[in-house]
Chains A and B, each alone.
Chain A
Amino acid sequence: MIEIRFHGRGGQGAVTSAELLARAAIDEGKYAQAFPSFGPERRGAPVMSYTRISDRPIKTREKVYHPDIAVVLDPTILKIVDVTDGLKPGGLVIVNTNKSKEALAAETGIKARLAVVDATKIAMESMGLPITNTVMLGAVVKVANLVKAESLIEPLKERFGKIFEKNYTAYKRAFDEVVS
C-alpha cells in the first residue's frame, strides 16, 4: 500500500488532487481511499489531504501518519509546515517550485528524495489561474508511477467538464517537465 499526503492551501484543490488520484486507481481496478484532513475549510489556510492506493482492500481508516510521498502544491507551505513529517525512509517529496532540486534542498534542508516542477507557472500559462492541483497530479503520476498517465483522463473530464482541456494540458506539461 502506498500512502500519499498532499499539502496545499484552502482553495488550491489539494482535496481534488487526492480524490482524482484515487479515482484513477479505482478505475484501474485497484483499491484506493481519498480523504481530506477533516475540518472547516478556510481559503488560504494550510490544508492536507490523503490518498491510499493498494492492490488489496484497504482495512484502515487511520489518518496517514507515515506517507510514502508528500506532495506540496504551494511553495510557501514549506516555510510553515514540515512536509517531511513522518515520511517513510526512502520517501519522496514532490514540490511545486521554480527552484532546482539542489537549490530547494539547500534552502529547506529537506534530505528526502525530491522532485520539482514549476506548477504555478504551468497553471498560469495553461489556465490563467494559480490553481495547481491537476498540474501537480501530472508530476505525481510521472514520478511515482502509481497509475497510468491516461487513467486520469476520465476523472479529469468528469470533474472539470468544459475546462477539461486546459486542465489536461497543464497535467501533461507537468508530466513532461517534472524533474526527479
Chain B
Amino acid sequence: MAKRVGMEVSLGVSEAVKVADVDVIAAYPITPQTHIVEHLAELVANGELDAEFIPVESEHSAMSSCVGSSATGARTYTATSSQGLALMHEILYIVPALRLPVVMTVANRALSGPINIWNDHSDIMSERDIGWIQTFAENGQEAFDLSVHAFRVAEDHSVLLPVIVNLDGFTLTHVVEPFEILDKAEVAKYLPPYKPLQRLDPEHPITMGAVGIPEVYTEAKKQYEDALVRSKSVVIQAWKEFGDLFGRYYHPVETYKTEGAETLLLTMGSVSETAMTAIDRMREAGKKVGLVRFRLWRPFPFEEFFEAVKGVKTLAVMDRAMSPGGPCGPVAAEVRAALYDQPTRPKVFSFVAGLGGRDVQVSDFEEIVSRAEKYAEKGAPATYDLIGVREI
C-alpha cells in the first residue's frame, strides 16, 4: 500500500529504485548523490533488494559497467553528480547509441572551478546532447514518481533509450519532507519486468557497439534521434497511466497561474516551488504573471511549450548555468531558438541565478519579473543578467 512518509528525498529515490526491482546498480559515491547510493548499498546488503551492487572505482567505470550490464538484459541503475557526470561523459553518448535503457539519477551540482559541491545545473547543461531522455523533479514526490516512470519509459520497446532524472543537489536531495511511496506490488502493476528486445547472450551471439563507418554513421545517428523524438508520446502516455493508477499526473511542460498572464517566468527543478510563492505574491499585487516549467527537457517538448506561452508578451527564463561567452543561459538559448520560427512569440529575456548553491529567494523572482517587464518596454542592456552578483 502507498504510504505517506517523512523521509529524506535521497532515500525516497533509493526506495523508488528498490520497488522498481533493479537487477544491477553500478555507482561511485559523490556529494550530493551519496545518500542515494549508500542507502541502495544498504538495501542490497540487508537483502531487501535482490540486486548486484558493483562498487566501481570511478564514474567512468560506473557508466561502463551499466553499459555491459544493460546489454545483457539486466535492469540497470546508477546515480551521480557534477564531476562524476563529467567523468562519465564519453560513455554517456554510447548508451543511447546502443539503445540501452539505463536509468540514472543526477543530483545536480555545480562543476568546478572554483571547487564547489553545491547545487546548480551546470553539470547537466553540459550534457544536453548525449541523447538521453531527461526529466526534472521539483520535490520529493516527483523524485520518487519520475524515478519509477523512468524505467517504464526507458524499457518500452518503441523507446529503448536511457533516462536521466534530475533533482537538485542538497536543496532537494538533503531535505526531509512528506511524500507518498508506493510498494513493490503497486509498482509491478505499472512497471512490468524488463524484456530486452536483444541482449548479449553466449548462446545467441550478436554484436553490439560495432564501428559506424562513414557510410552508416549518419543513418545510425538519425535512427536514434528519431527514436528520441518519438519517445515523447511514450513519456506522456506513461505519465497518464501513472496518474490513472496513482492519482498524480505529470506533463512535459507544467504551468502555474498562467491564465491571462502577460509575463511568464520559466524555471526548472526545485526552485519552481519558490517561484510559485513569488507568483502568488505578484498576483496578489495585481501583476499579470505566471510560471511555466520544463518537466521534460529531452526530447524538447516543442508543441507543449508553444501552447504554454501562447499569447504571452514577455518570457523571463531563469537558467541555473552559464554559457560563458555565449548569447545567454543554455535554457534561454534553446527557448529562443525554438520560438524563432513561430509567427507570434514572446520577447525572451535571459537570467542566470542560483549558481553554486547561491540561495534563490522569492525576491529574486520578483526582481527577474520586474527587470523583464522593463526590458520588454525599453530593450535589454545585455545578453543576460546575472542575478544577485555582488560588485567587486
B174 touches A38 (CB 8 A): yes
Bound-complex Cα distance A172 to B67 (A):
53
Cβ contact within 8 Å between A59 and B277: yes
Interface residues on B, range: 20 to 34
In the complex, A34→B5 CA distance in Å? Answer: 13
Is B274's CB under 8 angstroms from A61's CB?
yes
**A5 contacts the other chain (Cβ, under 8 Å)?**
no
Quick check: A26 and B4 within 8 Å, CB to CB?
yes
Partner of A22, one of B171, B176, B271, B359: B176
A85 at the interface (CB under 8 A from B): no
Chain B residues within 8 Å of A34, by CB: 175-177
Which of chain A's residues have a CB closer than 8 A to the CB of B196? none
Nearest B residue (CB) for A62: B361
- Over the window 270-292 of chain B, the binary record of Cβ atoms lying under 8 Å from chain A Cβ atoms (1 yes, 0 no) is 11011011001000000000000
Name the B residues within 8 Å of A32 (CB-CB).
Answer: 6, 176-178
Question: Could you list 27 examples of A-B contacts with CB < 8 Å?
Answer: A19-B176, A22-B6, A22-B176, A23-B6, A23-B176, A26-B5, A26-B178, A27-B6, A31-B177, A32-B177, A33-B176, A33-B177, A39-B117, A39-B118, A58-B177, A58-B273, A59-B273, A59-B274, A59-B277, A59-B280, A60-B273, A60-B362, A61-B270, A61-B271, A62-B274, A62-B361, A155-B6
Give the distance in Å from the alpha carbon of A25 to the alpha carbon of B118 in the complex.
28
Report, as a range, how many residues of chain A touch the other chain: 20 to 34
Interface residue ranges of A14-58 to B (CB < 8 Å): 18-19, 22-23, 25-27, 31-36, 38-40, 58
A111 at the interface (CB under 8 A from B): no
Q: Does A63 contact B (CB under 8 A)?
A: yes
Please, which residues of chain A bring their CB within 8 A of the CB of B359?
A: 62-63
Interface centre among A18, A60, A155 (most CB of B within 10 A): A60
Q: Mark B56-85, 1 if CB is under 8 A from A, else 0.
A: 000000000000000000000000000000
Interchain nearest-CB distance for B181 vs A (Å): 13
Give complex CA distance A26, B276 in Å.
22
Using a CB–CB distance below 8 Å, which chain B residues touch chain A? 4-6, 8, 32, 117-119, 170-172, 174-178, 270-271, 273-274, 276-277, 280, 357, 359-362
- Write the nearest CB–CB distance from B5 to chain A, whole angstroms: 7
Provide the residues of chain A in CB contact with B177, threshold 8 Å. Answer: 22, 26, 31-34, 58
Taken together as a complex, chains A and B put the C-alpha atoms of A177 and B271 apart, in Å, by 41
Q: Considering the chains assembled together, what is the distance between the CA atoms of A135 and B273 in angstroms?
A: 33
B31 to A, closest residue via Cβ: A40
Sorted nearest first, the 6 A-B pairs with minimum C-beta distance are A26-B6, A38-B170, A34-B176, A23-B6, A26-B178, A35-B175
Please pick, from A19, A38, A59, the residue contacting B357 in the complex, using a CB distance under 8 A: A38
Residue of A nearest to B363 (CB): A62
Partner of A31 from the list B8, B174, B178, B362 (CB cut-off 8 Å) is B178
B34 to chain A, nearest CB (A): 12
With known contacts A23-B6, A61-B271, A38–B118 Cβ distance under 8 A? yes
Which residues on the B side are within 8 Å of A40 (C-beta)? 117
Closest chain B residue to A36 by CB distance?
A: B174
On whether the beta carbons of A35 and B176 are closer than 8 Å, the reply is yes
Q: How far is the CB of B382 from chain A (nearest CB, A)?
A: 26
Give complex CA distance A26, B271 in Å.
Answer: 22
**A62 pairs with B170, CB closer than 8 A:** no
Once bound together, how far apart are the Cα atoms of A162 and B361, in whole Å?
Answer: 41
Chain B CB within 10 Å, residue with most, of A19, A33, A59: A59
Write out the residue numbers on chain B whose beta carbons fall within 8 Å of the beta carbon of A39: 117-118
Q: Chain B residues near A19 (CB, 8 Å)?
A: 8, 176
Within the complex, the shortest CB–CB distance from B287 to chain A, in Å, comes to: 18
**How far is A137 from B175 in the complex, measured between Cα atoms in Å?**
19
Across the interface, name the chain A residue whose C-beta is closest to B140. A33
Q: What residues of chain A lie closer than 8 Å to B360, measured between beta carbons?
A: 61-62
Residue of B nearest to A23 (CB): B6
Interface centre among B119, B170, B175, B357 (most CB of A within 10 A): B175
- How far apart are B250's CB and chain A's nearest CB, in angstroms? 17
Q: Which residues of A contact B32 (CB under 8 A)?
A: 38
A35 to B172 CA separation, bound complex (whole angstroms): 9
Q: Which residues of B contact A59 (CB under 8 A)?
A: 273-274, 276-277, 280
Specify which chain A residues have a CB less than 8 angstroms from the CB of B280 in the assembled complex: 59
CA distance A93 to B292 in the complex (A): 40
Per the bound structure, the CA–CA distance linking A171 and B118 in Å amounts to 34
Q: How far, in whole Å, are A75 and B4 apart by their CA atoms in the complex?
A: 37
CB of B356, distance to nearest CB on chain A (Å): 11
Complex partner residue of B362 from A22, A36, A62, CB under 8 angstroms: A62
On chain A, the residues within 8 Å of B276 by CB distance are: 59
Report the nearest A residue to B169, measured CB to CB. Answer: A38
Q: Which residue of A lies closest to B4 (CB)?
A: A26
- Tell whether, in the assembled complex, residue B170 and residue A60 are in contact, meaning their CB atoms are under 8 Å apart: no
Would you give the shortest CB distance from B222 to chain A, in whole angstroms?
41
Q: CB-CB < 8 A to B174: which residues of A?
A: 35-36, 38
